[in-house]
A = this chain, B = another copy of it.
Amino acid sequence: MTSYKLVARRPGQADTIIQIANCRIGGGNVVVVAGPCAVESEYQMLELGRQLKECGVHMLRGGAYKPRTSPYSFQGLGEEGLQILARTRELTGLPVISEVTDVRELDKAYHYIDVIQIGSRNMQNFALLTEVGKQDKPVLLKRGLAATLEEWLWAAEYIAAAGNHQIILCERGIRSFETYTRNTFDINAIPALKELTCLPVLADPSHGTGRASLVAPVARAALAAGADGLLIEVHTNPSQALSDGFQSLTPQEMGRLMRELRQIAPAVGKTLP
């Protein structure tokens, strides 16, 4: 297979830096994105957004369109969820990120959110990759459950080939034989991607472990390995979450994790604002 043309790191090339409002992703800066798996209600999201801003988080995440294994599970609030995210951004001043799963929803989502997320299950939904490549907002591209680094970078190349070079990669664990954890967080991928591409690389230890008790250690590890930021699931009351509560931190735990990350960042030559 010929090599990637647009996303491959060329000798001497500087890291790609993506600016989203006040947030800077890449280039030695550590960005922390946090929020619930799914936007469940306006009250939940505004309250949590306020608490996360206090923690020092830089961006908010929340799912409006939720790809769920079963058709009978909560599928997200759809456009209402996007509107709640927009109001949360207004209240907190923090940019928001949310997943789009259907090309037909892209225009709608574009108006409400700052970063468009492509989830693991859609990493090779090439129609969707091409469409997000045609618009001008940054794209967070999660790794597919069983995607090699090479396939993942080719997926990024689809976006770049369509015109959008503002691509953020996000390692979120791969499928292995181990059953104690939901996925196997591929820590090797972080420095490997730094060799292969200039694009910023975030880490999602919530999906990468699937256990709240393992999220903080693996978040610290990802930062120590060179990640440009983290994506963390937080819920005010994990045991009541409509999805993924078992892997969500409380805002208090998130505050503690922020303090831990602030201690590690300088030790690896990074700035966590």
Contact A208 B180 (CB under 8 A): no
Number of A residues near B (Cβ < 8 Å) is 69
Contact A71 B181 (CB under 8 A): no
Contact of A179 among B68, B148, B186 (CB under 8 A): B148
Q: How far is the CA of A199 from the CA of B225 in the complex (A)?
A: 25
Number of copies: 4
- Residues in B with CB closer than 8 Å to A124 are 67, 69, 121
- Residues in B with CB closer than 8 Å to A121 are 124-126
Contact B224 A148 (CB under 8 A): no
Q: Does A184 contact B (CB under 8 A)?
A: yes
Q: How far is the CA of A101 from the CA of B103 in the complex (A)?
A: 11
Cβ distance A187 to chain B, nearest Cβ, rounded Å: 4
Cβ distance A268 to chain B, nearest Cβ, rounded Å: 7
Q: Does A223 contact B (CB under 8 A)?
A: yes
- Residues in B with CB closer than 8 Å to A186 are 176, 178, 184
Q: Does A14 contact B (CB under 8 A)?
A: no
Contact A154 B71 (CB under 8 A): yes
Which residues between 93 and 139 of chain A lie within 8 Å of chain B, taking CB atoms? 101-104, 121-122, 124-127, 130
Contact status of A126 and B161, CB under 8 A, knowing A186-B178, A208-B188, A220-B268: no
A102: nearest chain-B partner, CB-CB: B127
Contact A188 B177 (CB under 8 A): no
Cβ distance A64 to chain B, nearest Cβ, rounded Å: 14
